Amino acid sequence: MKSVVALAAVLSLAACEACIAPAFAAGHKAPPPPPPTAASSLFTPQAVKSYGTVTVGGHKIDYEAVAGTLIVHPKGWNDAATPATGKEALGTADGPPAASVFYVAYFKRGAPAHDRPITFLYNGGPGSSTVWLHMGAFGPVRVVTNNDTHTPAAPYSIIKNQYSLLDTTDLVFIDAPGTGYSRIEGKDAAKAFYGVDPDAHAFASFITQFLTRYQRWNSPKYLLGESYGTPRSAVLIKDLSLDRNVDFNGVILLSQILNFALNADAPGSNPGVELPYELALPSMAATAWYHHALPSSPTKLRPFLQQVEQFAMGPYADALAQGANLPENERQSIAAQMHQYIGLPVSYLLKANLQVSGPEFEHELLSDEDLTTGRLDSRFQGPSMDPLSRTAFYDPQSAAISSAYVSAFNAYASKDLHYTTNLRYLPLIATHWDFKHRPPGAPIAVPIATNVMPDLATAMKYDPLLKVMLNGGYFDLATPFYEGIYEMHHLQIPANLQSNISYHYYKSGHMIYVNIPALKQLHANIAAFIRKTDNVSGG
């Protein structure tokens, strides 16, 4: 039993967010959270207002920004309890576990709250703040980074974001407990918040508190999560709908992974399950196409990927299913076809037994030039840390942009949001995450790789009007785009509910918005999705 649980944790780490993933992959640890904080105003709700303007689609938008904190508690907390005093007070090491959750909310000024959509946004990790979505995608300002190469050091350019979603919805960017300016404290606080189910409960508590504090219960409501934020959304929407009687208009998923057993980071740890290799093949093909590493490069990407998808789920899947029974001539034929699709030498593919993990591909594709491609965005490349290694040693995309995002937010928070604090902003933290999850209807958490497909399916059946939007990048090797398609096509929902799911793909990577043409397209697609589903715009 212990070995199965350990395997689940290993597989689950494969979907880590923008910065934490390469840290683990390189064998390094993210910086630990700061030492415990004594009982103070940190565990009292705060709110600092500021004002600004942004122009989106040629229209000027005046907005109010609120940077602040709300306090959330683990499941079972009595919200009528009288807080203890002394060393057992809220916010002390011996007190009850609590999280001071930092957020930045943007409200369009003059817009009636009762029919103005509101969207809750978060990144993933687990252990990542939401600086990436905030400063790179949908906030009213964004930091300028290079499209597919390393961004030079400071000073960084922070500009008004013409692709902010404020033209369509109010926005609430949430830093998960322990990340960003959020903090946790109390007895067994890590256990109380760092896990699939405790995390979803904390977010559900935050959201319902927020709806009350800002009187938004009757607004059209949306969840928008990226990477680990997508499994969080699946559990969260189930909890909100079934346990708290809060229906949402839509769930927007960026770079999806719901079943961690399908991820391509460490499929060799789960022998006999071949799907990760098959589902990653189209992303590998897209990467080889981008870097001109194919024997004959097709002109158009999407028709080429459709060929690869058919090969991956047809001849390639059949070959892997045969295992040691695969005839040698067929093995040679499959390797030759893979060479045409993903560019790796036939000799390497045969030596790999036709099974190439994501990190192996990232290290090998440009190995003749001693280069490693990105994991989160394989358009990026960087010098190989160890040319003799079997797998990639770091992620060039994360190395290329992380400093810009973190530096920009620190400057923006104090200068524009007027949020001053002695706390250090933590873009990522190392966590001992509990990946065990209790699916709907199960009496206990199940000891398998995390799979929250049943949660999303349950929410969609409970609320058959719920709409889901899936967005993916072709050059994402962390959460391959075809994996998301496969998951959606295998949800246990009635056939008619499949029409509630929409699919959108971009010539970008895990952080779709790093590529500005893709960000423009992403903004247009999400804005259209909200207008179509908000029950106000008449879509």
Structure tokens, 168: 């369509």
Please, what's the b/e burial string for 261-270 (b: 16 or more CB within 10 A of its CB; e: otherwise)?
Answer: bbbbbbbeeb
**What average pLDDT score do residues 44-56 get?**
96
Residue 42 CA to residue 61 CA, distance in Å, equals 32
Parallel, antiparallel or unpaired: strands 59-72 and 98-108: antiparallel
Place of tokens 């998960």: 176
Count of C-beta atoms within a 10 Å radius of residue 438: 14
What is the per-residue pLDDT for 145?
87
CB 422 within 8 A of CB 169: no
Q: Cα separation of 261 and 271, whole Å? A: 11
Per-residue model confidence (pLDDT) at position 249 = 98
Tell me which amino acid residue 286 is.
Answer: A
Q: Which residue, among 468, 470, 409, has the nearest Cα to 175 in the 3D structure?
A: 409
3-state secondary structure at position 401: helix
Residue 399 reports pLDDT greater than 80: no
pLDDT of residue 78: 83
Number of CB atoms found within 10 A of residue 386's CB: 13
Closest CA to 253 of 458, 502, 22: 502
Looking at residue 77, its pLDDT comes to: 87
Find out whether 425 and 181 touch, Cβ atoms under 8 Å: yes
pLDDT in tens, 155-170: 989 999 999 999 999 9
> How confident is the model over 255-311, as pLDDT tens digits?
999 999 999 998 988 899 999 999 999 999 999 999 999 999 899 999 999 999 999
- All residues at 6 or more sequence positions from 449 whose CB lies less than 8 Å from its CB, including other chains: 7, 8, 11, 12, 259, 260, 261, 270, 435
Split at pLDDT 50, 70, 90, the class of 423 is very high
Residue 39 has pLDDT above 60, yes or no: no
Q: Where are the beta strands (DSSP E) in 81-128?
A: 98-108, 118-122
As given in the structure block, the two tokens for residue 43 are: 């565990």
Q: Which has the higher per-residue pLDDT, 209 or 31?
A: 209
Strand-strand pairing, 467-473 and 250-254: parallel
- Per residue in 383-396, pLDDT tens? 888 776 777 655 66
What is the chain's alpha carbon radius of gyration, rounded to the nearest angstrom?
A: 23
Q: Which amino acid is at 123?
A: N
Task: State the pLDDT at residue 87.
Answer: 84
What is the per-residue pLDDT across 222-254, written as a single tens digit (0 to 9) for each?
999 999 999 999 999 999 999 999 999 999 999
Residues 160 and 434 sit within 8 Å (Cβ to Cβ): no
> How do the domains of the chain map onto residue ranges?
2-261+403-533, 264-397
Would you say 451 and 270 are in contact if contact means Cβ atoms under 8 Å apart? no
Task: Kindly state the greatest CA–CA separation across the chain.
Answer: 75
Q: Which residue has the tokens 């994360």?
A: 398
Q: What three-state secondary structure class fits 172?
A: strand
- State CA 96 to chain mean position distance: 30
Q: What is the DSSP string of 448-467?
A: SS-B-HHHHHHHHHHSTT-E
Contact 23, 13 (CB under 8 A): no
Distance CA 475, CA 62 (A): 36
* Among candidate residues 11, 123, 6, the one with its CA nearest the CA of residue 450: 11
Q: Is the pLDDT of residue 25 over 60?
A: no
Q: Residues of the chain with pLDDT > 90: what percent?
A: 76
Q: What is the mean pLDDT of the chain?
A: 90
Taking the whole predicted model, whether its pTM rises above 0.85 is answered as yes
pLDDT of residue 539: 61
In 3D space, the residue among 15, 13, 111, 18 whose CA is nearest the CA of residue 61 turns out to be 111
- Of residues 223 and 368, the one with the higher pLDDT is 223
DSSP H or E segment with residue 398? helix 396-415
Tokens representing 398 are: 């994360």
List all residues 6 or more positions away from 416 whose beta carbon is below 8 Å from its beta carbon. Answer: 50, 52, 65, 141
Banded pLDDT at 448 (limits 50, 70, 90): confident
Closest CA to 25 of 10, 43, 7, 47: 10
Closest CA to 189 of 181, 180, 198, 197: 198
pLDDT in the model for residue 447: 78
Q: Which of 86-100, 132-146, 403-417 has the lowest mean pLDDT?
A: 86-100
Per the listing, tokens 């407990």 go with 177
Which is the CATH superfamily of the domain at 2-261+403-533? Alpha/Beta hydrolase fold, catalytic domain (3.40.50.1820)
Residue 240 DSSP symbol: I
DSSP 486-532: HHHHT-SS-GGGGGGEEEEEESS-SSGGGSHHHHHHHHHHHHHHHHH
If DSSP codes are grouped into helix, strand and coil, which group holds residue 143? strand
What phi, psi does 135 have (nearest 5°)? -95, -5
User: Tokens 């770091």 correspond to what residue?
Assistant: 394
Q: Residue 15 above 80 pLDDT?
A: no
Angle value at C-alpha 23, between 372 and 184, nearest 5 degrees: 155
Q: Is 308 helix (H, G, I), strand (E, B) or coil?
A: helix
442 pLDDT above the threshold of 90: no
What are residue 80's DSSP bridge partners? none
Bond preceding residue 480 cis, omega within 30 of 0: no
d(CA 139, CA 220) in angstroms, rounded, equals 19
Exposed, middle or buried, 193 (CB in 10 Å: 0-12/13-18/19+)? buried
